[in-house]
Structure 1
């Protein structure tokens, strides 16, 4: 089986459940996706129901085609949909994978949901897929996300200038971070021991 097959599985602990996205998730995620703060540094922009439907359809299509493994996140303390996160850029031959496309509803931020989701995905990448490198990228302007990635031990590697277009036509400078296999045990301990660490969307 390839990473495309192995990445899209249900991951959970006592805090969160991540399961592969389905069309049935459309409305539960819609209810929390209309917060403009979610999309401030995102490569997509959702302001209306029509824009949300276009975003969801594109996301689901990526998932079904195996371009990404997209997860629906449930906060197990409330039983409610909390947001979404993905594996992408799965370069299995080079043992490299990206975690990103991350967003959470307002009431689920700062409660450990993002941290535990990242923990489960990192654990799956290193301990089941056999990744040597897990990478993240975010907008250079997104200081909360950058600070949070550093706080879990991800190493800032540099800025790729004029990396991509953003909604409105701005060219984004993208900052790359990574965790390597040799670093994972320390990062795992830090994530498990620091309940107040916040992971920003990237």
Structure 2
């Protein structure tokens, strides 16, 4: 079984359930996605129903085509869909992949959902898929995401300037982070201790 097939498995801990996206998730995802704050630093914007339909179609299409393993996140406390994350840029021959395309609805930010979802994805990447490197990237302006990546133990590697267009035409500087296989035991111990308190802005 290759990475694309093996990545698309249901993952679960005490706090969240991650499972591959399906058509049945459309309305549950819509219920949390129609919030402009989510998309401030995202590479696409969801402002209208038409935007959402295109966005959700891309989730389904990318997953079906193996371009990404797209997960829907369920918050186990409420039983509601909280958002989504993906494995992407899966370079199996080089044992390298990216965790990204991450977003959460308003009710689920700052509640530990991001922490526990990324814990599951990192564990699956290193312990099931056998990755040597897991990478992340975010907008240089996205201070909250950068703090979150630092808090899970990812190492900031550098900034690729003028990396891509953002909605509205701005060119994004992308900051890259990574966790390597040799670092995973320490990162795992750090993650197992639970989410860190958010630092003041």
TM-score exceeds 0.5: yes
Report the aligned-residue RMSD. 0.9
Matched, 1:133 2:171: no
Moved >4 Å (runs of 4+): none
1:70 and 1:194 mapped to 2: Cα distance? 24
Count the aligned residue pairs: 198
2:79 and 2:19 mapped to 1: Cα distance? 13
Alignment of 1:58-137 (within 5 A): 58-137=58-137
Identify unmatched segments of 5+ residues in structure 2: none
2:128 and 2:26 mapped to 1: Cα distance? 29
Identify unmatched segments of 5+ residues in structure 1: none
Q: Deviations over 1:38-80 (max 9, x none)?
A: 0000001000111000111012100100000000110011111
Q: What's the CA shift for 1:152?
A: 1.4
The answer to whether the 8 A contact 1:148-1:197 is kept is no
Q: What's the CA shift for 1:156?
A: 0.4
Return the structure number with greater relative CO, CA threshold 8 A, min gap 6. Answer: 1
Q: What's the CA shift for 1:194?
A: 3.0
Q: Deviations over 1:99-150 (max 9, x none)?
A: 0000001111111111000000000000000000000000000011111111
1:178 and 1:9 mapped to 2: Cα distance? 23
The answer to whether the 8 A contact 1:110-1:196 is kept is no
